[in-house]
Structure 1
Amino acid sequence: MKNLFKPMIVAGITAIIFSSCDKDDNNYGAPEHETAFAVTLAAGDSSAIIGKVNSFRERAGKVINTVPSVTGGRREINWDGVPADFLSPLAFPFDFFNPTLQSAPDARKRGLVYFPENASLLVSDKNFAEIDPAFANEFKAFSKNKLFIPKGTNVSEVHFQVPGTTTSAYVTAFGLILSDVDQDESTIIEAYEGDKLIGRVKAQKADKKYSFVGFQTTTRKITRVKITAGNTAIAAGITDGVEKDIVALDDFIYSEPRAN
């Protein structure tokens, strides 16, 4: 098992700026004319996406922060150090990556929580073969060897807090790696400033490989991100493929959360 507190090995962005001229493109950008987003998309095996992922890391923040009370830099989350007592089929805590107790490890205080607090979340080190053996060869972990997925739904939502506190926060860059996107239209990442949708991107398909989606903005505050991963929730007996697309999540990369 990897050390939980070792930062993830990924990131990147060769950005394309989308402004009002892209308002009619269904795949990219922001729904408001005054909002300029840089969006990065990549799909394929690890060698095909790593360049853009690494570029996005640099743009999100050159330094990986591992303790609270810092400014600048970036945060990264993979699931590889999650201990056995939080692995599927057991539930994964919504605030695992932002505990607020003073005694909690600083390296876990990364300013990201899931919403709602009673969300059912799973982390697997077996590609979710514990749910159905057929999934063993469907999903692949990018940073080895664990993946994340919501339980009972294909939709999850992350909110940001100042690391180690309950203070609401925002980021200016957010990216994630998805595993086994089978359909062009199934996986959508949406960025919000409060209740206002400010960016929406569809992931490119990459059957049994990886898709990367990254947002960056200099004009707005990303306070939450909604992830629609595929069109079907994971469950035993489902055949993943053309009609039913189950998508797992791997690495998250985001700029240092700052207080609103």
Structure 2
Amino acid sequence: MSRPYLRFSLRSVRSSRSAAVVLAHVLVLGAVRLDAQTVSAGGANVAAIQGTVDAFRSSLGTLNANVAGTFGSGRREINWDGVPDSFSAPTNLPGNFFNANSPRGVGLSTPGTGLAVSAKSGVGPVDFGNIDPSYTNTFEPFSAQRLFTALGSNIVDVNFFIAGSSTAAFTRAFGVIFSDVDLASTTSLQFFDGANTSLGTFFAPTGAFSFLGVTFGSSVVSRVRITSGNTALAADVNDAGNSDLVVMDDFIYAETVVPEPGTYSLMAAGLLAVAFARRRRQR
């Protein structure tokens, strides 16, 4: 029987930047499933990552409608631009907005003080200029014109549900577009299974625009922890020196599903095998 997890220190994947092919390095920490496939790209403008983003979208299938239930396949997306002004800066975004108001099977939370979507031009300062005026020159959206961030923290947890319900669900792929990643090995996605066991931590490449997507062989992901840079947005906190302020734009992920009973049995067997192996190593 092959091992479901393996420890990596560095993985190189190829991504497309405009017409050129560049080598993007994705640092991977912890026990990582062998079937985890990463794609990433970073660059100075939207064109630098557009091809990689579109390829990730295509690999997940048709874009599904924002309605309750599960389609069983295809993908969902969140680009923040449809969030009404009443739930945008300076007002906080409810964590269940994309499961209740606009059902897409996602619940959002943070160890910080709240979640925020940036204001539109003409309504308020764009790109989180309401938090600090310098941010209007720091961040830029991939899909105009709203962005997303945690408040009082640089961490967001994404939990998956059958859209429009409280039924916990799983996905097989998840990707994020980041704005203004300056420092390597700071902005990351950490994936967890139904037992809250880490499936690996993957780091986004640097760039004014940065994309990282990870796909697994089956729907095993119940939660993703997003770490954006190393510093939370706040008044008089600037993006300079060792402080890397990063915000998010589009989320792209495979349709959320509830595994068949047989899949649960296989997952449980795999977890027992991993626990047994760890116990033997500790003796």
Superposition TM-score tier, normalisation by shorter sequence: 0.7 to 0.9
Q: Supply the distance in 2 between the matched residues of 1:122 and 1:33 (Cα, whole angstroms).
A: 31
In the alignment, what sits opposite 1:124?
A: 118
Is the Cα–Cα contact under 8 Å of residues 231 and 245 in structure 1 kept in the other structure?
A: yes
Q: Which residue of 2 aligns with 1:232?
A: 231
Q: Is 1:25 matched up with 2:10?
A: yes
Q: Distance in 1 between matches of 2:174 and 2:116?
A: 21
Aligned length, in residue pairs: 232
Which residue is equivalent to 2:75? 74
Q: Distance in 1 between matches of 2:130 and 2:89?
A: 7
Give the Cα–Cα distance (whole angstroms) in 2 for the partners of residues 189 and 28 of structure 1. Answer: 11
- In the alignment, structure 1 residue 92 sits paired with structure 2 residue 93: yes
Range with bigger deviation, 24-33 or 76-85: 24-33
Identify unmatched segments of 5+ residues in structure 2: 12-25, 120-125, 260-283
**Relative to 1, partners in 2 of residues 1:162 and 1:235: Cα closer, same or farther, differing over 3 Å?**
same
Gaps of 5+ in 1: 1-18
Q: Does the 8 A contact of 1:31 with 1:197 survive in 2?
A: yes
Identity among equivalent positions (%) equals 36
> Bigger CA drift: 71-80 or 110-119?
110-119
Counterpart of 1:251 in structure 2 is 250
More helix by share: 2
Does the CA contact (< 8 Å) of 2:170 and 2:219 recur in 1?
A: no
Q: How does 1:132-211 map to 2 (within 5 A)?
A: 132-194=132-194, 195-206=196-207, 209-211=208-210
TM-score (norm 2): 0.77
Distance in 2 of aligned mates of 1:193 and 1:151: 26
- Report if aligned partners of 2:80, 2:146 keep a CA contact under 8 Å in 1: yes
The alignment's TM-score, normalised by the length of structure 1, stands at 0.83
User: Which residue of 1 is the match for residue 262 of structure 2?
Assistant: none
Larger Rg belongs to: 2
Is this contact kept in 2: 1:30–1:36, CA < 8 A?
no
> Which amino acid is the alignment partner of residue 226 of structure 1?
R
State the alpha-carbon separation in 1 of the partners of residues 223 and 32 from structure 2: 20
Change (3 A) 1:196 1:144: same
> Greater relative contact order (Cα 8 A, min sep 6): structure 1 or 2?
1
Amino acid aligned to 1:111 = G
| CA distance in 2 between partners of 1:63 and 1:82 (Å) | 18
Q: In structure 1, the residue corresponding to 2:42 is in which secondary structure? A: strand
- Residue 103 of structure 2 corresponds to which residue in structure 1? 109
